[in-house]
Amino acid sequence: MGALLVGIGAFLARTENWRAYAPLAGDPAATGGSHEHEQGHGHKPSGIIRWLTTVDHKDIGVLYGTYGVIAFLWGGVAVLLMRLELTTPTSTLIEPSLYNALLTSHGITMLFLFGTPIIAAFANYFVPLLIGADDMAFPRINAIAFWLLPPGALLIWAGFFTIPLPVDIGPAQTSWTMYAPLSAQQPNPGVDLMMLGLHLTGVSATMGAINFIATIFTERGENVTWANLDIFSWTVLTQSGLILFSFPLLGSALIMLLLDRNFGTTFFAVEGGGPILWQHLFWFFGHPEVYILVLPMMGLVSWILPKFAGRKLFGFKFVVYSTLAIGVLSFGVWAHHMFGSGMDPRIRASFMATSLAIAIPSAVKTFNWITTLWNGRIRLTAPMLFCIGFVSNFVLGGITGVFLAAIPVNLVLHETYYVVGHFHYIVMGMIAFAGFGAIYYWFPIVTGKMYQKTLAKWHFWLSMIGVNITFFSMLLMGYLGMPRRYATYDFNPALAPLASVELLHQVTTFGAFLIGLGTLVWLWNIVQSWAEGPEITDPDPWNTKRDGLHGREFAWFEEQLAADGKLATTDGGEASDASRGSSELRSDGGEADEEQLATDGDAEEQAQPTDD
Amino acid sequence: MGADRPEATAPDRRDKTSPWPVVVVLGIVLSEVGILFNLYPVSVTGLLLFTGSVAGIVTEAGYAVRPWRLLVGLGAAFVVVGLLIVGSQVDGGLASYLDAAARDDGIVQRGYTVAAAGAIAALVGIVGSRTVDRVVFR
């Protein structure tokens, strides 16, 4: 520990010294080289120190994104192992205890280490650009919020790392809901480590939320008002409000659970507050968490989908109002996760009413997206495909949720695969889809490159087909009564149709591997295109100017290209044929072939198959 | 405090780098792990890193001219918190506090750990304010 303190002291002395006494303004040797758009901020150190010390919102956005992708891969590998195990009713590949651990890790990883951070990645990079701010309101707190995440993940996963070691610490087997008394009574220190890690990620999310609220309220540019604030920033603002009111509660509940586990308190013991208290506290956080994850993704789709429909978002105001309505309602529905817990039927009925009411603002959004598409000039680019897939999956995931909100149906289907199918249509079919769409849409801005069109479409179709095979099979299994969370299902065939359940499990596993294959295609596409793809010189790679839908972030991108001398149309007449063609096409009244219009961004795009 | 010293924050914003956030995080993580598992050296290291880096980052951001007073304040706060934790397990006056220090009581040990780390931080703050040149922080 002493050596650690000395090492940190040396690090601080070195970096503070460089900052305080050797300002690097104008020193090109000291400028980080990997990011192309830093002409106005050329003071950054190079290498790993740059990434450890950056407080630039764009850098932190990239860090969040990288982190989210790593977590997504971890959670994906965990679930593929589980799906392999479930191809047979008996335990064959992994022990039930490891299955339980993977189940726990998959849930927590995907929600806290992938879902929330990947939204923070988009929000960090693009909200300041969209609102005309030069950075977040509190850049250093922004960096602290990100750096809390890696140790959080290491603690959450710690039990897996210690499996080969001769220590008595294993991965937690509590499921992501950590219900008492199971979570309070498991003696494994890996559970404590996981809860500590979860606590850190909660602190991180709260700090980030405060920062976004302050940024959107106080750092908007002169021309950005509440009336013309973009839909993505509206959803991030609403999400940040939800985080502010729900994550501190999770943090407090986790501390109470840790106290129960380690210090003999009885918050969630039968002789104290009771196990149901945990469920109330957890779901008071947990249901808003669903909207914390989905609202910004709805914002992304509301932002991107109109660009490729050639029309403004239909009913913008009502999309904003529905966002706010969902945000408020989300705090009044938590007990629908507990309909089977024996609560007072009158309270249960009131929660059913509020839960069903959420269908109204949700439907407002869905109809507005569909109406935006109606009579639009649809261009099926990869971002657009993912947006349309998002809407399609939301119809299935949303309507199954309406059924689950009804108490009589819920009492039959709760704790079955129906629930798993329902919420995976939301988290994979919507949240991940919107994330992929946004990554493709903003890939040119973040990397200065263009991705490969054919691979992106393979990715979409593998994911879309995979999602619907996987999660529709789960809905069917739920109807057959297959309970969720079980490592084995070797039950008596006289009690339930074992053969059908086994077949559906195998179909589900096949679908999951399709999604996995699509994800590998995506990863390859992103990495290779970023490393080797041709540079973008067209500031409007999606031809949105033609429809008057050019966003503020692409206007910023144009300024960066101009500053870097890379702008195709202002570089002294050296623009390629394709670029000139682009200008002509844009001014010809839009009569040209859609595909041509969309792929004529610049010369380099022609050199490599890229998306339209 | 920061509002009246805009010249201190402006260059930092342009630099867009700071060494402090990583250290703040390391302090929080080590503090939490150390206190939960009652690992004395880890707790003290974590709390020292936390208090020191908070004082450092606040100074760097221009909200304080020098870090020492804040370091003393944070240290004192941890002394109070630590003694409150000890006090939750002890009845009586100073003698009972001293007796408790010798007991094999995990909660009391954690309380004294927090208090000791706070005392060290406060001491560093006092010594720093009297020895380190003001010019460094301009």
Residue of A nearest to B135 (CA): A20
Which residues are within 8 A (CB) of A260 and not within 5 positions of it... i.e. 6 or more apart? A180, A184, A266, A267, A268, A269
Interface test with A, best of B15, B35, B110, B137 (most A CBs within 10 A): B15
Residue A566 near residue A537 (C-beta atoms within 8 A): yes
Residue A339 near residue A411 (C-beta atoms within 8 A): yes
How high is the pLDDT of residue A377? 94
B90/A174 Cα distance (integer angstroms): 35
Please list the residues that pair with A449 across neighbouring strands: A535
How high is the pLDDT of residue A33? 36
How high is the pLDDT of residue A163? 93
B90 within a domain of the structure (yes/no): yes
Model confidence pLDDT, tens digit, residues A348-404: 999 999 999 999 999 999 999 999 999 999 999 999 999 999 999 999 999 999 999
Model confidence pLDDT, tens digit, residues A480-493: 999 999 999 998 88
A111/A57 Cα distance (integer angstroms): 23
Residue B53 near residue B75 (C-beta atoms within 8 A): no
Where are any strands of DSSP class E within A214-322? none
For chain A, helix (H) and strand (E) counts, in that order, are 24, 0
Residue of A nearest to B32 (CA): A196
Please report the ipTM that was assigned to this predicted complex. 0.88
B1 within a domain of the structure (yes/no): no
Query: How many Å lie between the alpha carbon of B92 and the closest alpha carbon of chain A?
Result: 22
Model confidence pLDDT, tens digit, residues A57-105: 999 999 999 999 999 999 999 999 999 999 999 999 999 999 999 999 9
Residue A72 near residue A464 (C-beta atoms within 8 A): no
Query: How many Å lie between the alpha carbon of B58 and the closest alpha carbon of chain A?
Result: 10
Kindly state the average pLDDT of the residues A244-258. Answer: 97
B37 CB within 8 Å of a chain A CB: yes
Other C-beta atoms closer than 10 Å to the C-beta of A109 total: 26
A560/A555 Cα distance (integer angstroms): 9
| pLDDT class of A588 with cuts at 50, 70, 90 | very low
How high is the pLDDT of residue B45? 96
| pLDDT class of A256 with cuts at 50, 70, 90 | very high
> In B, which residues are within 8 Å of A15 by CB distance?
17, 19
How high is the pLDDT of residue A18? 56
| pLDDT class of A4 with cuts at 50, 70, 90 | confident
In one-letter notation, the amino acid at residue A192 is D
How far lies A278's CA from each of A152, A246, A261, A289, in Å? Answer: 22, 14, 13, 16
Kindly state the average pLDDT of the residues A524-539. Answer: 94
* B16/A56 touch (CB, cutoff 8 Å), yes or no: yes
Instruction: Name residues 502-531 of chain A within 8 A of B (Cβ).
Output: none
Handedness of CA A122, A123, A124, A126 (dihedral sign): positive
Residue A239 near residue A218 (C-beta atoms within 8 A): no
Please list the residues that pair with A452 across neighbouring strands: A610
How high is the pLDDT of residue B136? 56
Nearest to A535 by CA among A573, A576, A572: A576
B75 CB within 8 Å of a chain A CB: no
Residue A521 near residue A455 (C-beta atoms within 8 A): yes
Asked whether the predicted pLDDT for residue A577 surpasses 60, the reply is no
Q: Around B2, how many Cα atoms within 13 Å sit in the side-chain half-sphere?
A: 11
Model confidence pLDDT, tens digit, residues A145-168: 999 999 999 999 999 999 999 999
In one-letter notation, the amino acid at residue A377 is R
Buried-exposed string B91-119: b where 16+ CB fall within 10 A, e elsewhere: eeeeeebeebeeeeeebbbbbbbbbbbbb
Find the CB nearest A143 among B18, B32, B36. Answer: B18
Residue that is written with structure tokens 């993940």 in the block: A153
Which residues are within 8 A (CB) of A216 and not within 5 positions of it... i.e. 6 or more apart? A127, A131, A229, A233, A236, A237, A240
Kindly state the average pLDDT of the residues A136-140. Answer: 95
Q: How many CB pairs under 8 A join A and B?
A: 103
| pLDDT class of B132 with cuts at 50, 70, 90 | confident
B46 within a domain of the structure (yes/no): yes
Model confidence pLDDT, tens digit, residues A288-305: 999 999 999 999 999 999
How high is the pLDDT of residue A39? 39
Helix (H, G, I), strand (E, B) or coil at A535: strand
B41 within a domain of the structure (yes/no): yes
Please list the residues that pair with A535 across neighbouring strands: A449
Residue that is written with structure tokens 């750990």 in the block: B113
Kindly state the average pLDDT of the residues A20-28. Answer: 37
Residue ranges of alpha helices (H) inside A132-230 are: 139-147, 149-161, 182-185, 189-218
Residue A351 near residue A333 (C-beta atoms within 8 A): yes
- Report the number of distinct structural domains present in chain B: 1
Asked whether the predicted pLDDT for residue A20 surpasses 60, the reply is no
A555/A577 Cα distance (integer angstroms): 23
Find the CB nearest B18 among A5, A25, A140. Answer: A140
Query: CA B17, B18, B22: angle at the middle one, nearest 5?
Result: 125
Which residues are within 8 A (CB) of A44 and not within 5 positions of it... i.e. 6 or more apart? A24, A30, A31, A32, A38, A50, A54, A56, B15, B16, B17
Nearest to A183 by CA among A249, A261, A83: A261
B59 within a domain of the structure (yes/no): yes
The proportion of chain B whose per-residue pLDDT surpasses 90, expressed as a percent, equals 64
Query: How many Å lie between the alpha carbon of B94 and the closest alpha carbon of chain A?
Result: 25
Residue numbers of the domain that contains B32? 6-137
How high is the pLDDT of residue A364? 96
Which residues are within 8 A (CB) of A555 and not within 5 positions of it... i.e. 6 or more apart? A539
How high is the pLDDT of residue A426? 97
How high is the pLDDT of residue A55? 95
Q: At what angle do helices A382-405 and A359-373 cross, to 10 degrees?
A: 150
**If you ran DSSP here, which 8-state letter would residue A409 be given?**
H
The proportion of chain A whose per-residue pLDDT surpasses 70, expressed as a percent, equals 88
Which residues are within 8 A (CB) of A308 and not within 5 positions of it... i.e. 6 or more apart? A378, A379, A380, A381, A383, A384, A387, A542
- Specify which of A32-46, A194-208, A589-603 reaches the highest per-range mean pLDDT: A194-208
How far lies B2's CA from each of A209, A532, B10, B23, B50, in Å? Answer: 22, 45, 11, 22, 21
In one-letter notation, the amino acid at residue A156 is I
Residue B43 near residue B117 (C-beta atoms within 8 A): yes
Residue that is written with structure tokens 């909100």 in the block: A405
Asked whether the predicted pLDDT for residue A607 surpasses 90, the reply is no
How high is the pLDDT of residue A140? 95
B109/A304 Cα distance (integer angstroms): 56
Q: At what angle do helices A57-85 and A139-147 cross, to 10 degrees?
A: 20
pLDDT mean across residues, chain A: 89
Kindly state the average pLDDT of the residues A316-333. Answer: 96
Residue A197 near residue A156 (C-beta atoms within 8 A): yes
Query: How many Å lie between the alpha carbon of A239 and the closest alpha carbon of chain B?
Result: 24
How high is the pLDDT of residue A19? 55
> In A, which residues are within 8 Å of B20 by CB distance?
12, 140
B2 CB within 8 Å of a chain A CB: no
Q: Which two tokens stand for residue A59?
A: 């850098």
Handedness of CA A250, A252, A253, A259 (dihedral sign): positive
**If you ran DSSP here, which 8-state letter would residue A416 be given?**
B
Please list the residues that pair with A483 across neighbouring strands: A416
Residue A114 near residue A75 (C-beta atoms within 8 A): yes
How is chain B split among helix, strand and coil, in percent rounded to 5? Answer: 80, 0, 20
